[in-house]
Each structure stands twice: as C-alpha cells, then as structure tokens.
Amino acid sequence: MTDTTAGAPAAESLPQQQDDADSLQSHFHADISADEIEQVFHLKRAQPTLSAFTALFHGGGDAVMIRLLVLRELAADSAVSAFSRADINIKLAYLLPESLETVLIRLRSHGLLAWDAQAAVYRVTPLARNVLAALDGLLSSGQADDEADVGFILSQVAGAQAVGGVTVDQLRHLLGRLVDLTEEFRDAIASGSEFRLRTSQSKWHTTCDWVEKGSVILRAILADERADAATHKAAQAIGRAQSALLNMQGMFSRALNQIERQRVQLGQSGLSTTDVKRWLLAHEDLSSLAVGAIDRPVVPLFGTPAEMIDVAETELLSERTVTVGPGGLPAGQDAPLTVNDGPAIQVELDDWLARLSDFANLGNFPSFSEAGPKAVQVEESLLPATFAIASYRASLLPLLGDAAEASLQGATAQLARLPIQFSPQDAMVALDDPHVAAISLATLSLATLSLDLENGPLDE
C-alpha cells in the first residue's frame, strides 16, 4: 500500500483545512463569500496541484533549489519506478544526510513522493511528474533564444490543441502577451532612440517567427467543430493581434529612416554619433576613460538667477562705458558747402513749358493757317540739350492732352492743357547730335480747335 501523507493523523488535516478557509475568507468583504467568486472555485478545485507548488517553492531560494534538485534527480531515472532509501542515499550522496531527510519528508507530506510501506520504497507520484513537466517547459523556454517570451505560452496552447484540451484561459494568456508586445514596440518607436528601436526590431522578428507557428494552431482551433464560442472568439482576437504585430514593419522602417536622415557625422572621420554612443556603451566603467586625462576633478559652478542678472548687468554697463568714452559735447564744425551744377527739375520744367507755349502761341510751332506746317519732329522740340535733359523732356511728352492731368494744378497740368498732340511711332531715327545718337520717331502737332471752343482757353 502506498502512503502519500507519511502516516499523518487524519485529525490534523481537518483543522488545517478549516484554518485555511477562515484565513481565505478574511481577505474578502463581510457580505461577500469567497465561494461565490468563479476563480476561487477553480483554484480550490486545483488545490492538490497548488499544494505541490507550495511544497516546492515555499521558503528561501536555496531551499527551493534543493527540493527541485532532489525531485528532478529521482524523476530523471526512468529505468526504475521505485527507490529504496539506500538507492536515494547513493544517488544523492553529495547531499548531507540531514538535509536529504528534511527534503524527503517535505516532498512526501505534500504528495510529491509516495511511500510504499510494504515494499519500503519511494515512488514519484503522477502529480510530481506533471509539476516537473510544466517546470521543465518553462525552464527550457527561458534558456532558449526567445526574446519575445512567447514560446512557452504557445507551446502550451499547441500541446493542449494536439490532445484536444485547449482552454480559453490559455488563449487569453497568449493574447495578453501579444498585446503587451504590441504596446512595447509602439513605445520603442515613439521613443526615437535608435538603440531601443533596433533592440525592439530584433525582438519583433522573433515574435513574427512565433506568429507564423501560431497561425497554424489558430487555423486548427477555428476549424475544430468541438470548440465553443468563447474559444473561437479568443482565437479571432489572437489573429487580430498578430495582424497588428505584422503591420509594424513599416513603422520600424520609417522610424529608422528618420533617424538615419538626422544622423550627425563627425567631420571627415566617417564616424557618427551612433558609433560614439555604441563605443561608450561597450565600456562598463565610463569613469575609467578619464584616468590620466583629467588632473583634478571637475568642480561644478552653480549660479542663481539673481546672481546671473547681476553679472549680466555689470558686463553690459562696462561695455557701454568703454564704447561711449569720455563725456562732454563734441567740438563744433562748419557744415560742408556743396555746389549743385545741374539745373533744378522745376526750373527745367518751367523753361521747357515756356518753350512749348511759344511754339503753340507765337507761330514758331505750325501756324493755324493752311499754308503753314501742321507738325514737327519731336527731336526739334527736345534738342539741343544734354542726354539727361532730353530724356527728362521726353518723359513728359505722354502728359500732352491727358485730361486727368489737365484737371489738376501745377506745371504738369499746364503742360497737359497745351493744344499740342504727341504721336509716337514704333521706329527709330538716327541723329547728328553730340549727346543723343538716336531717338524714337514721333511728331508734335496742333490739336483740334473744338476743345478750345467748348472748354474755353486752355490756359485757364
């Protein structure tokens, strides 16, 4: 007969269970029963398994390691199914007898080792093998190159699917891990750190490898007619989370390209700020780089805003004093005399206006008789004169006959009221003049007399 409690009195287990129930209820509100919580029901149903984990992991880290060592050594020997105490002593001869005895008693009292009193041997219980199998899967995934930490959860889902026992909780654990990875990658992209981006991108590639394997499992779950609606819903949510992860490749590429455009090159050395940072990160102790380079420690100087204002005001006033120099009024100086060699514009305008008026009124211009000439060439009115004066006179010719200008007051208004018509042409005529070589072909002629009869004398 096999005994897993090592002959512990049955009366001792009942008070212990009662104390556990009382202590559990003490964590809830008075009007809420612990048995009404769904998760409490599932945990209570798995109480033997939880007790096994408690027996292994309760206490310090060294004690936990010794218990796992003993249990793994016994379970690893698949050649025999039972161990006498002498066999255990030989197999674990490197342990002190007192420590080994303490571990065996603990494992036996919590159902991880069974004691067969008739054969006087120990046996590893099925519960212990299940616990070790779960721990071995977790430990092996931790040693593997799984930066995304998805391998263990996905292996549990795959194993459960293979035997037809996948649960919604297992799928939710996988979904939660995928959501966590998505948020982690988004934070890395938003950080703008090149090193964090490249680390996250490497982790993203590992995640994508697991996503491809998980897609096969998800298709099998969705095609399983025995799966319930909650399982199908969880599988579809995992598929959406995997799609979101796969779509992040473009986000990583854009972020890295933006960093590449903003990379600063250090002169003509070919090095960038990224190379310098990578070199600095390769040194565990950055302070060792300053050995022999700095004779004395750097003494930081701190200044409050008030002190900074005082220093700035002193510097500003000292510069102003140097710039101004000695005080006093400067000595007086006579204003420079300038001689204007050219005629004033107004004087020149008055002279030319008088000349045109003489042409129109005194007969020097074409007479009113039919025998007299009706028009003269424009160069006869502009020349002789220097180039500047001739150009100034020519710029005033378009004002002749301008009704808008004639309604105003001033010399240009008098020019516009003269009975002279300016008729330019698109041609040039060469001149024999020392100042003007050629001039546009144009004529000045008398305007019609109808304007004089209707509007009165043009000079008014």
Q: Which of 285-294, 357-366, 394-403, 441-450 has the highest mean pLDDT?
A: 394-403
Asked if residue 334 belongs to a domain, the reply is no
Length of the chain: 460
Q: How many domains does the chain have?
A: 3
* Residue 244 confidence class, pLDDT cut points 50, 70, 90: confident
Residue 72 lies in a domain: yes
pLDDT over 60 (residue 450): no
**Domain's final residue, options 239, 260, 281:** 260
Please identify, among 89, 107, 135, the residue that sits at the C-terminal boundary of a domain.
135
pLDDT of 347 higher than 50:
yes
Are 120 and 155 part of one and the same domain? no
Residue 165 lies inside a defined structural domain of this protein = yes
Let me know whether 118 and 191 are in one domain: no
Q: 264-300, pLDDT tens digit by residue?
A: 767 666 677 777 777 777 777 887 777 777 666 667 7
Residue 57 is part of which domain span? 2-135
Per-residue model confidence as pLDDT tens digits over 180-232: 888 888 898 888 888 888 888 888 888 888 888 788 888 887 787 777 788 88
Q: Name every residue whose Cβ is closer than 8 Å to that of residue 361 and which is 6 or more positions away in sequence.
A: none
- Same domain flag for 7 and 130: yes
Which of 21-35, 108-122, 229-243, 422-436 shows the lowest mean pLDDT across its residues?
21-35
Note whether 15 and 129 are same-domain residues.
yes
**Angstrom distance (rounded) from CA 86 to CA 67:** 18
Are the beta carbons of 18 and 12 closer than 8 angstroms?
A: no
Final residue before a domain boundary, out of 111, 135, 159:
135
Residue 190 sits in the same domain as residue 128: no
Residue 237: pLDDT above 80?
yes
Q: How far is CA 332 from CA 220, 294, 338, 390, 429, in A?
A: 105, 61, 19, 43, 57
Confidence of residue 369 (pLDDT cuts 50, 70, 90): very low
Q: Is the pLDDT of residue 20 over 80?
A: no
Least confident of 44-53, 97-106, 311-320, 442-451: 442-451
Averaged pLDDT score across all residues of the chain: 77
Rg of the Cα atoms in the chain: 54
Residue 428 pLDDT greater than 80, yes or no: yes
174 and 254 in a common domain: yes
156 and 106 belong to one structural domain: no
- Domain membership of residue 151 (yes or no) is yes
- Yes or no: say if 444 and 420 are a contact pair by the CB < 8 Å rule: yes
Query: Are 19 and 123 in a shared domain?
Result: yes
Q: Give the rounded percent of residues in the chain with a pLDDT score beyond 70.
A: 80
Same domain, 116 and 161: no
**Co-location of 109 and 153 in the same domain:** no
Asked if residue 81 belongs to a domain, the reply is: yes
174 in any annotated domain? yes
Task: Give the pLDDT confidence of 378-419 residue by residue, as tens digits.
Answer: 888 888 888 888 888 888 888 888 888 888 888 888 888 888
Same domain, 172 and 244: yes
Both 124 and 225 in one domain: the answer is no
